[in-house]
Structure 1
Amino acid sequence: MKATDKGLHIDGIDKKILRFLMEDARTPVLEIARKIGISGAAIHQRLRKLEKSGLLAGSQFRINPKILGYTTMAYIGIFLDKAMSNPAAVKELQKIPEILECHYTTGNWSILIKVLCKDNEHLMQLLNKKIQQIEGVSRTETFISLDQQIDRQISI
């Protein structure tokens, strides 16, 4: 691994390590070392360098929201009355726990958010009582996800 003018260059061993960890972040380092054919210490050293470079942004467990009763995923385009409302609106959106992602966008909407709700009624309450009540929000456009077909990271 080395830094270049065009970004970070990772070698074949780094890519193999990353692929193992992207598949299962709980894979033991010694197991990865054995499969790749290098020492566990070398794996640890490479992982430290990858973390220091900023390429690795930690590891996490994924919670299955359906087990907790959250079955409605939606994307909501938010129209703001003026561009100056963006920072204040985002500050208010951060207070809403059902919002998983928030993006400034080009195109029709000022902001696009991804929300997770228990059901359609919960989504309607979220829209009517929280999101559309934020000062500066003029209207919203909602798209309900019927089923997620692809969930992946960038290929290494």
Structure 2
Amino acid sequence: MNDLHIEPLPNIDELDEKILKLITKNARIPFLEVARECGVSGAAIHQRVQRLLNLGVVSGSEFIVNPQKMGYFTCAYMGIHLEKAKFHKQVVAELTKIPEVVECHYVTGTYAIFIKVQTKTNKHLKKLIDEDLQEIEGIASTETFISLEMEFKRQVPIK
């Protein structure tokens, strides 16, 4: 069976787009306020949002923890070279056990895996590299990029 199945794009109309623009700007916006902005009933908004959830266009809502407010002042990205491609799943399984690894991507190019880590300090980052990452079987080497400041982050555009 082919694992490379691409889902057809869902049928999204102008009302769906307007709803998406409003709820992605503020996930806590009341449905009645969205309804007022869109000129439809609250029930219609509820049904549309439920449809968008069911289609997988949006997934839930979440509170985002500010890492700095929790004492995590160092954000870094790391490219990981594997000894052999066969180590990919094993390495990813080990990476999931490290709480400071907050994102993990299988990538093309120079690295096999690219991760984002949040640590309290640069010293904490060094300890993470030396004692956790370099000890994972299958990792040949890593290259670290410390983020000095996030300039912006955003969602994909809604037409």
* TM band (smaller chain): over 0.9
Aligned to 1:77: 79
The aligned amino acid for 1:72 is T
Aligned to 2:3: none
CA RMSD of aligned residues (A): 1.0
Alignment of 1:134-145 (within 5 A): 134-145=136-147
TM-score (norm 2): 0.93
Looking at structure 1, the residues matched to 37 and 78 of structure 2 have their Cα atoms a distance apart, in angstroms, of 44
Aligned to 2:92: 90
Structure whose residues are more often strand by fraction:
1
Identity of aligned residues (%): 49
Looking at structure 2, the residues matched to 151 and 52 of structure 1 have their Cα atoms a distance apart, in angstroms, of 26
Alignment of 1:23-38 (within 5 A): 23-38=25-40
Aligned to 1:124: 126
CA displacement at 1:107 relative to structure 2: 1.3
Looking at structure 2, the residues matched to 35 and 109 of structure 1 have their Cα atoms a distance apart, in angstroms, of 46
Residues 1:46 and 2:48 are matched in the alignment: yes
Looking at structure 2, the residues matched to 90 and 16 of structure 1 have their Cα atoms a distance apart, in angstroms, of 38
The aligned amino acid for 1:48 is Q
Q: Which runs of 5+ in 1 are unaligned?
A: none
TM-score (norm 1): 0.94
* Corresponding residue pairs, total: 152
Looking at structure 2, the residues matched to 118 and 112 of structure 1 have their Cα atoms a distance apart, in angstroms, of 20
Q: Which runs of 5+ in 2 are unaligned?
A: 1-6
